[in-house]
Structure 1
Amino acid sequence: MSKRQLYIGLMSGTSADGIDAALVDMQTFPTLIASHNTPFTEELRKKIHAIALPGDNEIDRMGVLDVELARLFATCSLDLIKKIGIDHNEIIAIGSHGQTIRHRPPGSPEGCFTLQIGDPNIIAELTGITTIADFRRRDMAASGQGAPLVPAFHNAIFHNPGKDRVIANIGGMANITWLPASGTVCGFDTGPGNVLMDLWMQESQGKSYDADGKWAASGKVSTELVDLLLQETFFTLPPPKSTGRESFNRAWLGNRLKKLAHELDACDIQASLLELTAMSISNSITQLSDAPKEVLVCGGGAFNKRLMQRLKDLLPGCTLDTTAKLGIDPQWIEAMAFAWLAHQTINHRPGNLCAVTGAKREVILGGVYFAR
């Protein structure tokens, strides 16, 4: 029997609710062996959200947070290894996405750059495992958006030559991957996923998220508010395109709430934010092709029953399910993707898709931080 090729993927997304770690065997086909989640404290989540927007003393705050997060990434990896009872020397490499604190894609007036923290030097030192990190910047150096990166992984594990398929990844932000039965793969960010719903839930209800979308379901959608939100220029931009909390945040929402003719109940705002997510995703999917297609959802949004129902309503010509239909838990897809990207890097293979990011060529992503 061939020896397993084990990699760990680490993912902390825009929602900043914790670290997802996936142990993946890359020997023949990416196979999830085990998974683990390390939640962030409310204090840490607030620090991450605060540093994601311009503010005072940013460099010092970023430096401290860079170390704190790296130690948590390392601990999460070691906890996963302990959980399954293997030796760390069996792991070829860790692929760490890091925590994005600023993403300015090409065309941003502030300049073009991206920044993820969670120092890979510390991860490699504390775990004793070679660590791959800083995946986005090489794509941007090749004139790409630096995101989304997961469509290349989606293509590797979900492409089906017998049917057209869309993968909708709904995290803090949402992105889709178009996997035609034959033809060019493409993908792009569609806009906010859970980010606006989560921040409004936190502000209005003191909870980190709206379980099953129940609070949103109790409200009434304001077409006036949804129309205002959909006027954002990003939604009309052609792909390739990417976005983040820099564009869709509390201040952005507040400016639009001020334009309403009448004040809305808090639950109606939540219902409208869910509708924004559903419409921006469904509009993007329907623009890809008029042909019937299978839509598979992953990310935290896959567990929002109200959101899933609205997507079904808005995509009547499609069959909609989660990636669990294919035997892969939707919660772990992104973490698995960074294990796969680490495998690509270690084997000197490109990790980006030019049709997705807009890069002028395929490149090997990430920096390698060797184990002691």
Structure 2
Amino acid sequence: MLSDPIIGNYYIGIMSGTSLDGIDVAIAQRTRHGFVQIAAAAPALDNKLRQQILTICQDKKVELQTLGEVDFQFACACAHVVNQLLEDSRLSAAQIEAIGSHGQTIFHSPNGAFPFTQQIGDANLIAAKTGITCVADFRRMDMAYGGQGAPLVPAFHQALFAKSGENRVILNIGGIANITILESDNKVLGYDTGPGNTLMDAWCEKVNGECYDKNGEFAFQGEVLPALLKLLLSEPYFSQSPPKSTGREKFNLQWLAKRLAQLDSGLNSNADIQRTLLELSAVTISEQIQLHSAACAVFVCGGGALNPLLMQRLQALMPDYWVSDTAALNIDPMFVEAIAFAWLAEQRLLENTIPLKAVTGARRDALLGCVYRP
């Protein structure tokens, strides 16, 4: 039997995704209509810590001493962001029921002989340094039952955004893009479509020294390279049927370099490559949405919602769909995922299983997350 949420309770969600552009933290309050965002912040990661995490993710070879130290530092950074937001919001730790922490994924491998996923950000430290119960490790129980362990947010999308008699799509464009198809009969489908911002961010940083392409300005300077786009689209992941999930383990600069090496790209500008990477994200996302949903409203969240060129291309590629962002549903598009983990923390304390088996392919819905009390 599912437990009912308590109206008025506060929860905090922490999210750090593939883009590694910062730590998103949001305070949400349970109301009769769902979760209301009370306060939020997205401070950038300390650059040294960011580079250490990128090295771990990209090189995949790291000393255990380094891994442990980065795990500790990232947890402390999360706790600091929470404490600062509480101070700024004039709320106390005693008013918060729990923190839901996604952690920072450093490797996700759901399809190997020995499936696993690994996140850093010690929840013990977060609980101890904030004085608030912390719920973390949300993915591994789903994987224990044969699921992909990702994406987790479709269950939240269904709980907050589904509307009886109406088809909707929730599109999250973080480093990786994922879609949630909310059907009028309450069925739900969700999975990772492929790269969102991760390749664009990585290329922009490589050639411009900037962590991301602000407002798509770099991509606006280039033109799509048809031969490169065709080669990128030949990646088998894109034609794989769901359930499926992916990450930086597959879509990274090494993946891109192998494909660039197959072409005579000497005459192509860096901006052309950036523009082609944006088109890759737009095409793969739009194709999957149109494959699995009839014409409907598409609500975008994540950093990609702030890229006007990407939003323009999505609308152009899906002329029969109405493309907006989740502000139209009263949630800031930059903090949907953080609030989703606040919701997952609430559900764990209530001991409610999360309806994800249709999304992840798990054998059964499971109770997700481990509870760490201060």
**Structure 2 CA distance for aligned equivalents of residues 198 and 54 of structure 1:** 17
- The number of equivalent residue pairs is 367
Deviation at 1:156, TM superposition (A): 0.8
Counterpart position of 1:69: 74
Deviates more, 1:174-183 or 1:306-315: 174-183
Counterpart position of 2:172: 169
Per-residue CA distance 1:38-76 (angstroms, 9 max, x = gap): 211222221111111344434222111000000011111
**Aligned-partner residue type, residue 27 of structure 2:** L
Change (3 A) 1:175 1:3: closer
Change (3 A) 1:269 1:143: same
Whether contact under 8 Å (2:141, 2:366) holds in the other structure is yes
**Structure 2 CA distance for aligned equivalents of residues 236 and 279 of structure 1:** 13
**Is 1:204 the equivalent of 2:207?**
yes
Counterpart position of 1:191: 194
Counterpart position of 1:10: 14
**Aligned-partner residue type, residue 106 of structure 2:** I
Counterpart position of 2:274: 270
**Structure 2 CA distance for aligned equivalents of residues 59 and 137 of structure 1:** 21
**Aligned-partner residue type, residue 65 of structure 1:** V
Per-residue CA distance 1:219-250 (angstroms, 9 max, x = gap): 01011111111111110110000000000011
**Aligned-partner residue type, residue 267 of structure 1:** A
- Secondary structure (helix, strand or coil) at the match of 2:119 reads strand
**Is 1:78 the equivalent of 2:66?**
no
Whether contact under 8 Å (2:56, 2:62) holds in the other structure is no
Correspondence for 1:217 among 217, 220, 231 = 220
Deviates more, 1:22-31 or 1:264-273: 22-31
- Secondary structure (helix, strand or coil) at the match of 2:169 reads strand
CA RMSD, Structure 1 to Structure 2 (Å):
1.2
- Secondary structure (helix, strand or coil) at the match of 2:82 reads helix
Deviation at 1:3, TM superposition (A): 6.2
Deviation at 1:211, TM superposition (A): 1.3
Per-residue CA distance 1:179-208 (angstroms, 9 max, x = gap): 011142010000010000001111111111
Counterpart position of 2:339: 336
Counterpart position of 1:132: 135
Correspondence for 1:150 among 153, 157, 175 = 153
Correspondence for 1:42 among 30, 34, 47 = 47
Whether contact under 8 Å (1:139, 1:352) holds in the other structure is no
Whether contact under 8 Å (1:97, 1:135) holds in the other structure is yes
**Aligned-partner residue type, residue 96 of structure 2:** I
Counterpart position of 1:315: 318
**Structure 1 CA distance for aligned equivalents of residues 256 and 206 of structure 2:** 13
**Structure 1 CA distance for aligned equivalents of residues 186 and 292 of structure 2:** 12
**Is 1:240 the equivalent of 2:243?**
yes
Per-residue CA distance 1:272-309 (angstroms, 9 max, x = gap): 000000001001101103x3211010000000000000
TM-score, normalised relative to structure 2: 0.96
**Aligned-partner residue type, residue 124 of structure 1:** A
Deviation at 1:215, TM superposition (A): 1.2
Per-residue CA distance 1:91-116 (angstroms, 9 max, x = gap): 0100000000000012x36x310001
Deviates more, 1:121-130 or 1:209-218: 209-218
**Structure 1 CA distance for aligned equivalents of residues 360 and 60 of structure 2:** 29
**Aligned-partner residue type, residue 12 of structure 1:** S
Correspondence for 1:364 among 340, 357, 367 = 367
**Structure 2 CA distance for aligned equivalents of residues 269 and 3 of structure 1:** 49
**Is 1:97 the equivalent of 2:102?**
yes
Deviation at 1:351, TM superposition (A): 2.5
Counterpart position of 2:3: none
Whether contact under 8 Å (1:53, 1:102) holds in the other structure is no
**Aligned-partner residue type, residue 93 of structure 1:** A
- Secondary structure (helix, strand or coil) at the match of 1:114 reads strand
Counterpart position of 1:226: 229
**Structure 2 CA distance for aligned equivalents of residues 128 and 259 of structure 1:** 54
Runs of 4+ in 1 over 4 A off after TM superposition: none
Whether contact under 8 Å (2:204, 2:212) holds in the other structure is yes
**Structure 1 CA distance for aligned equivalents of residues 371 and 265 of structure 2:** 54
**Structure 1 CA distance for aligned equivalents of residues 80 and 35 of structure 2:** 24
Deviation at 1:31, TM superposition (A): 1.0
